[in-house]
Amino acid sequence: MKKTLSLLSLLLIVFSCENEALEGFDLESNSDSPFENNDVIGESGGESTGDYWPMATGNKWTYDNYIDGQQEDDGIMEISLQEDYLGFPSYLYSSFLPSSTSTDGSVTGDVEINAYSSKNGGDYHISVASTSFEVSGVYQISQSSYSFVMLKDYLEVGETWTSNYSITTSTEVLMDGLPDVPDTNMNVTYNNEIMEKGISVEVNGTTYSPVIKVKANSTYQVAGLPDSSAEYFYYFAEDVGLIKYEGSVYDGDDSITTSILAELNEVILN
C-alpha cells in the first residue's frame, strides 16, 4: 500500500490505492467515539501568555529542511489570507511546510492541501480542509477534514493535552475494469506535553527567547494494518513562531523510520 505524509506532526495522511470556534460552536457527532468529531476548533483555551505563532496575511517562515540527514528543498510556511473557517476567523496558508513525502523519505509529488491556523485564547489550532486529487487518471482520492490543537501557551511544564480525530479517505475508480476501492478510516491520537518554557534556543546563528518546547506523539490506526506513529519536538518563539522542529515518523506497514529536522532560516512578519 502506498502511503504519503505531509510533514507537520501531525499531518500524516494515509491514502490507499490498493483495496477556534466561538463558545457554543460544535458539529454534530454520530457516536460517542472520540474520533468522530473532527472539525471542532474548540472553546477558548486559557489566557494566552504571549504570541507564539504570529498570524497575519503575508507572514512567511522558511526552513532548512532535512530528511534522514540529507538536506532537501526549503520548507516554506506562508499565510495567504484571512477568512472564516468553521465559523471562526482563521488564516489560510498558500504553503504549509514541506511537500508530500513518502514514508521512506522520497518526494512523491505535491498534493494541494488547504491548511488553516487560528488562535482561540491560548490555544493554537491547525485545521485541514477536505482534499481531493487525481492519481494518474486512475483514481480520484478524497479525504475528509480534521482539526487539532498544536500549542497551549498557558500550560506549565509537564502539563499535557490530547487531540483525537478521524480521517476518512474515499477512492473513486476512474478506469473501467478495475475493482472498487473501499473507504479507509484512520483514527489519530495526538498527545502533547510542555517540555520547557522560557528557554533560549539558537537556530542558524540566531538566539530566540523566550521559547516553548513541546513534545508531540501521534498514533495512526487503520483497521487491518500495523499502527504507525510519529514523535516530534516543536520550538515556538514568542513573536516569531515555529523556529525549529525535529523528530521521526514510523511507518508500521513497511517498518521504516524516517528522521525529520527543520530549522528557521528566514522569517517575514507583518
Query: Chunked in runs of 10, what are the mean pLDDT values of the chain (270 residues)?
Result: 37 36 32 58 85 98 95 93 91 77 42 87 93 88 91 98 91 93 92 98 98 96 91 97 95 89 97
Domain assignment of residue 228, yes or no: yes
Please state the φ and ψ torsions of residue 76, each to the nearest 5 degrees. -125, 135
Q: Hey, what amino acid is at 71?
A: Q
**For residues 152 and 147, what is the distance between their CA atoms, to the nearest angstrom?**
15
Domain assignment of residue 117, yes or no: yes
Query: Exposed/middle/buried for 177, CB within 10 Å: 0-12, 13-18, 19+?
Result: exposed
Q: Residue 105: what pLDDT?
A: 40
Containing structural domain, residue 84: 4-23+33-268
| Phi-psi group of 198: left, alpha or beta (phi > 0 → left; psi -120 to 50 → alpha; rest → beta) | left
**pTM of the prediction?**
0.84
Q: Residue 36: what pLDDT?
A: 59
Domain assignment of residue 28, yes or no: no
Domain assignment of residue 41, yes or no: yes
**Number of domain units in the chain:** 1
**For residues 242 and 238, what is the distance between their CA atoms, to the nearest angstrom?**
9
Domain assignment of residue 161, yes or no: yes
**For residues 141 and 144, what is the distance between their CA atoms, to the nearest angstrom?**
10
